[in-house]
Amino acid sequence: MNKETFFAVQNLSVAYNGQTVVRSVSFSVRCGEILAIVGESGSGKSTVLKAAQGLLGSGGRVSGGRIMLYGRDIYRLSPAERRREIAGSTVAMIFQNAGASFCPIRTIGEQIYESVREHTDWSREEFTAQSKAVMKRINLPETVLNEFPFRLSGGMGQRAGILAAVILKPALLLADEPTSALDTVTQLSVVKELMELRRQQNIAIVIVTHNMGVAWYMADNILVMRDGEPVEYGAKEQIFRRPQAQYTKELIAAVPGLRL
Partner 1 sequence: MKDKVMEHILEVRNLKKVFVAKSEKYVATDDVSFAVDAGECVGIVGQSGCGKSTLAKIIAGFIAPDSGQIFLCGRDITYAKGAALRTVYANMQMIFQMPEESFDPRKTIGWSVAEPLRNLRPELGRKQTEERTRCLLAEVGLSPSFADRYPHELSGGQCQRAAIARAVAISPKLLICDEATSALDMTVAAKTIDLLRRLCFEQQIACLFITHDLALLTRIAERVIVMHNGKIVEEGTTQQIIYGAKSPRTKELAAAALVMTPPVTEGT
Measure the CA dihedral 164/168/169/174, to 10°: -50
Task: Select 21 or 36, whichever has its Cβ closest to partner 1.
Answer: 36
Question: What's phi and psi for 41, nearest 5 deg?
Answer: -55, 135
Cβ 76 to partner 1 shortest distance, Å: 36
Integer-rounded Cα Rg, in Å, for the chain is 18
Cβ 40 to partner 1 shortest distance, Å: 4
Cβ 101 to partner 1 shortest distance, Å: 19
Beta carbons within 10 angstroms of residue 4's beta carbon: 7
Residues in contact with partner 1, counted by CB under 8 A, come to a total of: 36
Across the beta sheet with 19-30, the strand order is: 19-30, 5-16, 60-69, 72-73
**Residues 147-186 interacting with partner 1 (rule: CB under 8 A):** 153-154, 182-186
**Residues 75-104 interacting with partner 1 (rule: CB under 8 A):** none
In sequence order, which ranges of 140-222 are alpha helices (DSSP H)?
Answer: 154-166, 184-201, 212-218
Cβ 210 to partner 1 shortest distance, Å: 6
Of the candidates 25, 30, 64, the one whose C-alpha atom is nearest the C-alpha of residue 48 is: 25
- What residue type is 24 in one-letter code? S
Site track for partner 1 across 198-237, x = CB under 8 A: ------------xxxxxxxx--------------------
Site track for partner 1 across 38-77, x = CB under 8 A: --xx------------------------------------
- What residue type is 92 in one-letter code? A
Which stretch in 22-30, 62-70, 103-111, 245-253 sits in contact with partner 1 by CB under 8 A?
Answer: 245-253
Name the site residues for partner 1 (rule: CB under 8 A).
40-41, 153-154, 182-188, 191, 210-217, 240-243, 249-260
